[in-house]
Chains A and B, each alone.
Chain A
Amino acid sequence: MRMKHLNTYTAVLCSMGVTGFLYGLFQFDKFYTFIFAISLFVILILEILPVRLPSGDKYVSGSVGFLFLLVDGGFAYSAIASVIASYAYFAKGLRSWKVPLTPFLSTAGMYIGGLLSSLLIWEVTNSFPIILSVVLVAWTFEIVNIVLLEFIHKFVFGAKKIFTKIEEQLKETFIPVLISAIVIPKWYNPDGYIEFLYDMLYTLFFFLLIIFFSQQFFRQLEARKLTSKAFTNVLESRIALEKSGHGNRVGIICEILLDEWRYPKRKKQDLIQCAIVHDIGKSLLPSYIFRKRGALTISEEKEYNTHSEIGVELLTAIFPKNKITESILYHHEKWDGSGFPKGLKGEEIPLEARIIAICNELDHLFVKYNDNETVMELLEEKAGTLLDPKLVGVLTIETITNVREELSDLLEIPVYEKQEQEKNVKGQKVAKLSVHYEAKSHIGESLVITWENGVYYQADVLPFRVNLLDELVSMVKMRQSKISETIQEGGFYWEVHGYPMNTDKIFLFVHDMSSMIAYRERLETKILESYENVIHTLSDGKISFYAEKEKIEQSLGQLQDQMKITTTADIPKSRAFLDVYLKESNLELQPMKILLAVSEATTNLLKHATGGEIFIYRTIEKLQILISDKGSGIPLHEIPKTILVSGYSTKKSLGKGFQLMKGLSNGVHVHTSSKGTCILLDFLYKTEEESGKEKTIS
């Protein structure tokens, strides 16, 4: 999809550019050559070295030069200078003397348009005090340029919405207008050539200083902002897909609400950054803590409670301004004093932490509830216990509605459909991406996306929301170097590499890595299989570990009965349940051993998972008791220790569970995975010979 460079609009601009240039040449008067030359020199330097603005845009300060020429020498000189300056800009950007004609001339045309408008204003105001008329002239120039540029976005790059950043852009005209107001009157009507040269070079020197510092400062600021955002996204995708984007949303909520609370503007940015990364400490916790269903082990609980402290340490490294990073440390404190880490109460908790607590809570409510009234109610319920009642009191239902609107794009998790093979404009086959939500085997594919001046090309074939690439793009654009990122969505996993072509064009290579991730999972399965052998051997064949649940399920006989286990009271109940069965079934078995072994397994279930079920099966030779849960399983690295080592426990217990089960039964079969754990205990019926033998437990 090539952009349509030459269309009616650009044709008009180009002709303006050409006409202006020719007119200028025609009107050129030799006596002005010196001033023109020096001005052009300064303009070219400023054109090549832009000033970086907070919005991420660049301010090309060369326009100060043309405006000077406009008011001092006349339209002709400014016209020539602006055309030459446009050429220099493109030549520098593309690093070649060959410059695409249409963009270049359109830009020149834009400048000419601006200059003509400014000329009009100058004619009207040149009797005013010089500073005032310069301000008006400069402002007109900037505004006309903004308008013409927005139309270029629309007619050339096919932007659907223009003037979206208009407020910010208007605010930013302040800088060029200010610079013009300071500089142009100084240069205007010089007393002599030497004075003029001196003034020009002096000002140029200051310009260069500002440019240098702005580049450094904003580069740092951007880098930090983007690092923390990227960081937050990575760590959030480790936590849980449903939660991803939480950090960014809390940041946005914070930004809006800070106005409601009239928080001092100069501290605003820092607090917003902290809001975005408030859970950063969690990135240092093993990710399985967040996926765990069931109680955390003691060490896991301790680690979870320290994540706010870890977070502060991490952040102090990224943002060395201590006061606000403390707000992260205390964001889990509660207004009524029952929070952690220090149990601070009321206004003891720093204001920033109280703010983040509210924004955090609000995001959770937005994700769960669609109704704004409900959100408001629930938020108010928490005022006084969890949240600061004064801060909550300032918020109204209108505020909530407003915030939700701002978040509306980010709150949806997309579902995408099948994509078909497509041909691009050149007739070449674009890489096919058939992405089906249920697809399990998906051979990794690659595609190339071009980003140019804010628009993505080939975006309609993309399997994920294209704005996920925005941050990578701005980093690449700013650093002008290759940067890679990973994107996770809906169970798929992509690697994206961005290559800068020039300041306004970036190539993005997207590779589907989902199959590699699947490979990692298969590796896990291989590890589990190796455990099968180890455990079997080391337990003298009494304990068998299975990587696949099916193997246990296949060995089951006839189901006799079953019971659910959810609370501790169910443990003795399950024994009674089993006891009744044993008595009624009249099997030759020692009830005590069975009840004890089962008690171990069921207690285990309650300690590590949220609940499960116990099943009684029978075969011809044995009784089988199956205890299974839907917890998050025994972590991979804990499996051997948990099963084999006597006295090892991840909770406060004797750690003898498996040993006991092994000793009391005729066989223990274990399977565990992230979907749950199941333990099968075998009890062989005694034969008549064995009845006579002693009952000691082996």
Chain B
Amino acid sequence: MAQALFPALAHLAIDSAHAAAPDLRIVAWDGEESGVQPPASDLTAVEENSQGRVLDPNTRFYGRFNADSGMLSLFDSATGTGVYWTRCARLLPTYVWGAPLLTLFHWWGNCRGMVMVHAGCIGVGTQGLLLAGKGGSGKSTTTLLCLRAGMRYVGDDYCLVGFAPQPVAYSLYSVGKLTREHLRNFPDLERISTDPNPDPFNKPVCFLAAHFPQQMAARLEPRAILLPRVTDQAATTLRPTSRMAALRALAPSSLFQLPDPSATTLASLSRLAQALPAVELHLGALETVVPALRDYLAAG
């Protein structure tokens, strides 16, 4: 189980001897490794509300079961305790290796006014840029170009965004994922990629923390939401667009990669989209992308 869960989270590891009491404590085990089955399934109260189905009318407990991959996630929002059981971690789909415990992080963050966002985030110093868009938009390629150019890296697919009151993007996973075809543009990343259990997303995962330790950022403050577009133009250009365009890019994929898409989550995403300028990123030749983004951040 450790091999499946920990590499993506390696950049967030701390010395437990000096750690304060955790805000989130997760008990995780593998049914096959341990021989221990999930907790008893007697449920006496089930109620469905706008946050999704919960186990308790007071909306304290959350529970989800992923059928095909065999994962059970439980969360107690009052104590900040999560339970994660998997039937067999070594057989988990590759996309789970790249985003372990996503459901628990989503619930925990949601209870604290944060929103799980399907977006990449890179930056310079403390300032970042969110990259939003569905598969094929160039989001992951752009974030990995930035990583390889020495920029700071929060993630390529998911981050937790809080409002303090301006948006802050918190890193969850130090991974990069690209299709095999696009990985060929990055031989160094292709060499460190792995695809433990191929899944419908068909994207090998690169665990980046060990290879780019100085660039892993625990948090960045986004200055804009960029909407990548692959073009055939030579140079990379940026053009302002509507905040609704940013919400259209963020909301559907953010909502439907979570177990309980809700109006509350949509409202948080809308808050994010309205807090930052939205910019279309028209991607030109690969070597023009990073300079364009550095120039945009430097312009202030």
Partners in one complex: no
A residues with CB within 8 A of B: none
